[in-house]
Structure 1
C-alpha cells in the first residue's frame, strides 16, 4: 500500500465509525465497559465521535500535505506501549505508525483491551494488508524503535530499557484553565466539559484553574450544577467521598458543591473529583509560572482561546490529528527512522 492508500484506509474507518448502527455500538460499548468500568457508554461514544471527526478526509489530507511524501524502504518494527486512562487513547500512535509505513508491535494497557482491538479489526476489514502491520504482544523486546506512554515512574523504567533505541517516552501531563474574570455562565459550562469528560482521567482534562480572584469560583460552581450526575458513577463517587473525608479530617480549606471539591494548591495534578485553583496577580506572573511548568502541561484552555497557545473552553478533549501528545511530532519521528 502507498502512503495515500494507508491514509485513505483510516478515512474509511472514520466513516465506518460514524455510520455504526445503534445495536452495533451498544454491543461494543457493553464489552468495553465490562473491561473497564470507567469507560461508560457515553464516554465510548464521545471517544468514537472524536476519532470519526479527526479522520475526516479533508483533515487527513491537509495534515499529510504538510509532510514530504515518503515511502519507507524496509519497514521498522515499532513497539507501542499504550496507556489506558481514556478510551482508545493509544489509537493516534497506532495510526501514525501504520500511515508512516512501519509495523506496529502493540502492548495494550489492561484498562483498554477491547476498543483498540475493535478498531484494528475494522481497519483490517477495510484494508486487509494492514493486518500484517499490527502485532499485539505482551513483551516488546528488540524492536527498532519505541513509543511508550505512562507515568513519571514508568517513564524511568521505559528510559532504562528503551533509551538506547530511537524512542518517544511520555510522562505524566495534565491540562489547566486560565480565567480572567470575563467568563459567563455558558463559558463555565464549556469549561466543565474539559474537567469532567472521561471523569477527569485524561492528560487533556483540566485539573487546575488559574484565576485573578477566588470569588470566581462561586459563580463557576453554581454554573456547573448540571454536572451533578457525574456522582452517579460509583467509582467517581468513591473518589469524591474519599477526598472529601481526607480534607475534612485534616481541616483542609476547600469548596464543595456536592460533586466537585475545589482546593487551593500550587500543584498541577489534582485527584479525581478535585479541582485545584491558584490566584495570579497579573498575566506576566502567570506566563512565567506556566512557562516554568510547561513540561508538565498538555494543553491550556481559556475563554475563546484568548490566552496564548490555548484552546477554547470545551475543546480540550477534541484534539485534531496534529495535536501530538507532549507536542512531539510522532509522524516526523517515524519518518526519520
Structure 2
C-alpha cells in the first residue's frame, strides 16, 4: 500500500469509529462486559480522542510530512512485534498506527484486558482493504520479529529487556503524571484537573497522580470540584479500592481528605493507588519544575506553562510516550 492509500484508509477508519455501526456498538459493549474498568463513557472518550486527534486527513498528512523518509513511499519488510498494554481502552492504538503508517508490518500481542476493540477495527480495515491482513496480524507469542515495541510494568519491562536485547526495541515502563497548582487557577481549570486525575479511573500514565501545591494552599474549592466524579463510587471495582485504602488510613490514624470517590493524601510518591491522589507542597515553582522535567517517572506535567488543565488524556499525534519518537524509530529500521 502506498502512503496515500494508508492515510485514506485511516481516515475511513476514523469516520467508522465515530459512527453508529451496529457491529462497532456491539464490540464496545463486549469490551465493557469483559473488563469492568472500561466504562462505556470511557471507551467513547478514547474512541473520540483517537478519531479526532489522530485519524483526520489533514492531521495525518501534516504528521507524515515531517518525516522525509516517508516521502520515498517504499514498502519495507520489517516485522515489528508489538506488546500492548490494557490499562485504558485502546492504549496501544498509537503504536499500531505508527507501525502501519511507516509501512512496516505489525505482529500484535493484544492485552487480555483489551482484546476486543483494536482487533475489531483491524478486521474492519481488512474488510475494506484485504492487503491489511498482510500488514497487521495478532498472535499470543511474538517470535521471528525484526524489532519490538512493548509496554508494561517495571517488572515486565525487565523481562522485555532480556528477551528483546538482541533486537532494536522500545521498552516502556511505569510512568505517571504530575500537576503544579499556583492557587490562581480558575474554576474551569480545576474542573479540567479533575478530568486529568479521574478519567479512566486514574489508571493511565497520563493521569495525574501527584499534585504539587504552594504552602498554605486551601483545598476546599478543589474538593468540591472533584465531586463531579462522585459517580465512580458506584463502580464496584473502583469502590473496593477506595474502601481498602480508606480503611488503611483509618486504622493507622493518618490524615487524609476525601470526596465519596477520591482520597487526597500527603505522600512523597509520584505513584498513587487507584482512588487516591497524592499531594505535596513546594516553595519554589521553578526548582520544582526542573526536578519534574528530569524525573524519568513523569510522563506529563500539567499546569500553567505546561500541558493545559483538562487535556492530559488528549495527546496529539506527535506526542510520543516517554518522549521517544516511535515513528522515527520505525523508519530507522529501514535506514
- Normalising TM by the smaller chain, what interval? over 0.9
Q: Distance in 2 between matches of 1:216 and 1:314?
A: 21
8 Å CA contact 2:226, 2:259 repeated in 1:
no
Alpha-carbon distance in 2 for matches of 1:31, 1:57: 29
The equivalent position to 2:155 in structure 1, one of 136, 153, 156, is 153
Distance 1:140 1:101 in 2: 19
Tell me the distance in 2 between the aligned counterparts of 1:170 and 1:325. 8
2:105 aligned with 1:103, yes or no?
Answer: yes
Once the 2 structures are TM-superposed, how far is the Cα of residue 25 of structure 1 from its aligned partner? 4.7
Per-residue CA distance 1:283-315 (angstroms, 9 max, x = gap): 12212321331x11111111xxx22xx211110
Residue 19 of structure 2 is aligned to residue 19 of structure 1: yes
| Correspondence list, 1:183-198, <5 A | 183-198=185-200
Report the Cα offset of residue 230 of structure 1.
1.1
- Does structure 1 retain, via aligned residues, the 8 Å contact 2:176–2:207? yes
Residue ranges of structure 2 left out of the alignment (5+ in a row) = none
Let me know the Cα RMSD of the aligned residues: 1.4
Post-superposition, which runs of at least 4 consecutive aligned residues in structure 1 deviate over 4 A?
A: none
Q: 2 CA distance for matches of 1:226 and 1:16?
A: 31
1:287 and 1:51 map into 2 onto residues whose CA distance is 29
CA distance, structure 1, for counterparts of residue 26 and residue 144 of structure 2:
37
Report matched runs for 1:1-337 at 5 Å: 1-21=1-21, 23-54=22-53, 55-68=55-68, 69-72=71-74, 74-293=76-295, 295-302=296-303, 306-307=304-305, 310-337=306-333
Q: How far is the alpha carbon of 1:320 from its aligned partner?
A: 1.3
Count how many residue pairs are aligned between Structure 1 and Structure 2. Answer: 330
Tell me the secondary structure at the aligned position of residue 221 of structure 1. Answer: helix
Contact 2:257 2:265 in 1 (8 A): yes
- TM-score, normalised to structure 1, is 0.94
Provide the rounded CA distance (Å) in 2 between the counterparts of 1:34 and 1:16: 22
Give SS of 1:207's match: strand
Assess, with a 3 A threshold, how the Cα gap between structure 1 residues 30 and 19 changes in structure 2: closer, same or farther: closer
Query: 1:72 Cα deviation (Å)?
Result: 4.2
| 8 Å CA contact 2:178, 2:300 repeated in 1 | yes
